[in-house]
Amino acid sequence: LGYGDLGFTGHPTTSTPNIDRLASGGKVLSTWYSGCPVCSGSRAALMTGRQFARTGVPGVFEAISLAGLPTNETTVADQAKKAGYTTAIMGKWHLGQRQMFLPAARGFDHYQAFLDDMGNARATPCGGSRPTADLFEDMTKYYREAGYLNDDINKSDDPAGDYLPLVYQTKGKTKVLEQPLDFTTLADKYNDFVQEFVTNQSVTKDPFFLYMAFSHVHTTASNQPDKQYAGCPFQNSTRRGRFGDALAEADWLVGNLVQSLERYGLDKNTLILFSSDNGPWMEQGKSAGSPGLMYGRSSGYWNVGKGSTWEGGIREPAFAYWPGVISPGTRSAEVVSSLDLLPTVSSILGVELPRDRVYDGRDMSDVLFDNTGKSKHDFFSSTVVIAKGQHLTSVVQQLCATAGTKHTSALALGWVDAQAARRSTMPAENDPSEAYPLTKNGVEPEDPQVQAVVADIRAALQKELDTFTFGNLVVPPNLPSEKYKGKYYYGICCDRSKNCDCDGAPSEY
């Protein structure tokens, strides 16, 4: 989901009335940065409050990875549990699929969705029978070409990587509900899960933390039309094509959640934060989203979304909504980030942060709840950018490198060029499209004030490069449950005797 995809950020044909209503009723956060411009890295940053490379997480985990988010990392769900909260996640986890990495082992009481990237799945035709998923595409090839995969931790001969499973967890028990999952009915299953969770919390009166990690509108494999999906009520429902249909269905899920909160009188005691994991995968054409203004106009190429360190890859649409607490119709251009979620939630709940590690996120409560609140980031580093005040430097050097190997990724997924390593400084506040760099290819600014800012940014960047420590992934020992016919397999599988192609009754393991 890109900065320009929603109604409240200016898209002319998007249909997102529920999301737009929340944005207008709360505070728009116009300078929200993701912790990484690709999938697993951004989720690791959001869950831990730490740059993904500090944790050892690569840009992307595959469906059959031997490793996951290291078990010594504390997640925001862990912090919520310390405060007595019931926790749940709906959607895309993508931080490891082995038992020790699943949401139930990472602080979540309940989980429903899938665990890795958008692999091959099914889609029941509206009014017809279910087809087989007989057209396969290796979605990981794009990430591999751009250097976001670590092949040392992937098991390539596991058939579980061929089909995307729908997984349910509660009270530590795991069920594979579908494999391959059905995209046509996926939103209904999401909705049922969320509605049941909120209803139960309204009865128990327990406080709750709900993480809705939408799989909409991520690009699917090529066996789905235009590499997007939506349920029958939303197919051909918008002027924006299949991407717009998928986004409208996600908006419906948001609307249903808010209706339930209001029905049970929970809305005035619930903080809603909304953002995206990374910018649009522009190489995928119409199945991708829109970066809007964040187009990296001085980049010299067009692929400045997902995988990119330009604004289009990491600057995301965002808002905070809390009736009676956050003033409606307000905005803040202060620098905040998905990295700030864990420190902020911990502060609100009165839970101390672990003191044995470096945190890159900051408590953004002042920005959320004070109309004149300031960011606590003097300099902000997200393994891709460092920002100070009105200026932002976009660099590719160590930053967003694959953890462990320390090699530099490309500026955009699917686009590789040696010139990507050049440094440039942008006036991001008054030039969000990055059309007029203050420094580029050795040309220095003439304004003494700008020179001083550039010097400060370069000093902060150098300090970051000099002191940054990459984390290391540790592959846990094999589990007895992972052994089948004398070999060990690590993907989620409904039934190995069927090569993980079940599409039948739920299985439990």
Residues labelled as active-site residues: 39, 94
Contact 170, 102 (CB under 8 A): no
C-alpha separations of 359 from 103, 343, 468 in Å: 22, 8, 12
Order of all β-strands in the sheet with 208-213: 208-213, 86-92, 110-114, 166-170, 173-178, 507-508
CA-wise closest residue to 409 among 113, 143, 186: 143
HSE (side-chain half, CA atoms, 13 Å) at 163: 28
Residue 261's identity, in one-letter code, is: L
End-to-end Cα, the chain, rounded Å: 34
Taking residue 300's Cβ as centre, other Cβ atoms within 10 Å add up to: 11
What's the rounded Cα separation, in Å, for the pair 416 and 410?
A: 5
Q: Which residues contact 16 (CB under 8 A, 6 or more apart)?
A: 6, 7, 8, 247, 248, 251
Structure tokens at 335: 């620098």
CA-wise closest residue to 229 among 181, 194, 277, 273: 181
What's the rounded Cα separation, in Å, for the pair 53 and 153?
A: 16
CA-wise closest residue to 108 among 130, 80, 149, 135: 80
Order of all β-strands in the sheet with 27-29: 272-274, 319-321, 27-29, 330-332
What's the rounded Cα separation, in Å, for the pair 61 and 154?
A: 8
CA-wise closest residue to 95 among 40, 140, 167: 40
Phi, psi of 413 (to 5 degrees): -60, 125
